[in-house]
Amino acid sequence: MAKQQKKGTLIIIGGAEKQGDKEILQAVAKRAGSGRLVVATVATEEPEEMFQEYREIFRELGVKDLAHLDVQKREDALSEDRVRVLEKARVIFFTGGDQLRITSQLGDSQVYRRVQEIYLHGGTVAGTSAGASVMSETMLVSGHGDQSHRLENAVMMAPGFGLIKDMVIDQHFAERGRLGRLLGAVAQNPRQLGVGIDENTAILVEGQDAFEVLGEGAVYVLDGSGITYSNLVENERERNETLSIYDVKLHVLSRENRFDLRERRPLQPDPPGPGDSNKKK
């Protein structure tokens, strides 16, 4: 029997993580240690400006070996010099922008395969905003985020990197009112958990069994496995109707809460020990 490959760590960030004490970026920097951290600016149209901003932050957080993965066109992702940027990388950090730029430029390229190898052999892949959306096998691309989901407003989805299975991720969640569109995504395929991540908030996934919440906001988990009814495929002549969906579960998690991805339920926190109430959060 072939030896099972090790899986690494995912840090999936809801955006706006550069504020405050930069707790989430500290967690990213910690996993780089004395090794290389690669900032991938594939999603943005201003790669150099974006890299310099993160370079300054990660330098302040103690990262000494920083590299820039700049892929502005598809042929860049097929070149050996871009693959060499990822040599000795312990962490790859995908910035925000447009998630379709990431998948269309990197999908099934030498660079993409190297990212997979790093993750499968214990490295860390982190992403914020658009860089968060690409982590799942199905990626949420667009949809109305400030109102209840209407049947005529289809949620656009596309294949992602597939680093984590059975999940669709949305970011800037509470700040941009995206509950309606994540419900629309879950209604389209109840097999997938809908995970909405607030700004300056992240989920830390080690392996594929569970995640832990980092940061100051909330993580919303929509479980559609028990849905008994939705009107998604009904009312063909009345596509302006609002989505109806019954018996969908909603879990809301905050800092240090954990979620079991196998059982699809939150893990009860340990009871506080003596003196815990006096500890700094």
213 vs 197: CA distance, rounded Å: 9
Calpha distance 250→235 (Å, rounded)? 26
The reply to whether 244 belongs to the active site is no
Cβ-contact 223, 161 below 8 angstroms: no
Given the residues 17, 136, 199, 230, select the one marked as catalytic. 199
Active site residue 172: yes
For tokens 């949305």, what's the residue? 170
Give me the catalytic one of 129, 133, 136, 230: 129
Reported as half-sphere exposure (CB side, CA atoms, 13 A), residue 223 has a value of 14
Q: Which residues touch 125 (CB under 8 Å, ≥6 apart)? A: 8, 9, 10, 11, 91, 92, 94, 115, 118, 119, 135, 163
Helix (H, G, I), strand (E, B) or coil at 87: coil
Name the amino acid, one letter, at 10. L
Q: Is 230 a catalytic residue?
A: no
Q: What angle do CA 14, 20, 22 make, to 5 degrees?
A: 65
Catalytic residue among 17, 133, 136, 172: 172
Q: Rounded CA gap, 182 and 14, in Å?
A: 14
Q: Which residues are catalytic?
A: 129, 172, 199
